[in-house]
Amino acid sequence: MEVTFTVRKWDEKPVDITKKDFPINIAHVEYEIDGELKGVAFVEYLLCYLETNVNDGHLSTSKISGYLHFEGSYKGKQGTFTAIEQGIFDKGNLDSPGTIIKTTGDLEGLKGSYNYKFTGQTSKLILDFQL
């Protein structure tokens, strides 16, 4: 199943600005998700830059680790879930699958994973959920 999402916030900064060659950034991110999964996801990413493009950050390459916390509904059932993500962003392509590790509310017992898919200007999550 596919749902769409938009980036509401992307606040990225170096973990330690005093270490010039330390290539780790932290990003505080919010996604608005729409479809059978509907709500807001709050994400904390650590990004380790392997290659950087100062003129266009989308052409950079970084390893990614993060946690996504979703608040909203899935197929009309309210609750939250937390997922762990790990992968790579490589020159505009994101391969960072997520796996659900904790659930609450009516989403208690939700299991599964997701991945990102970009088609033109549309950002999608491909869900593989079981409730």
Q: Give the span between the Cα atoms of 1 and 103, in whole angstroms.
A: 19
- Calculate what percentage of the chain has a pLDDT beyond 70: 98
Decide which of 21 and 85 is more confident: 85
pLDDT digits (tens, 9 = 90+) for 14-63: 999 898 888 899 999 999 999 999 999 999 999 999 988 777 877 889 99
42 close to 72: Cβ distance less than 8 angstroms: no
The pLDDT of residue 109 is: 96
**The pTM is what?**
0.91
The pLDDT of residue 121 is: 73
The pLDDT of residue 50 is: 92
The pLDDT of residue 57 is: 77
* Position 92 pLDDT exceeds 90: no
The residues spanned by each domain of the chain are: 2-130
Alpha-helical runs (H) found in the chain: none
Q: Report residue 122's pLDDT band, with 50, 70 and 90 as the boundaries.
A: confident
Q: Which CATH class is domain 2-130?
A: mainly beta
* Position 120 pLDDT exceeds 80: no
3-state helix, strand, coil in the chain (%, to 5): 0, 75, 25
The pLDDT of residue 22 is: 86
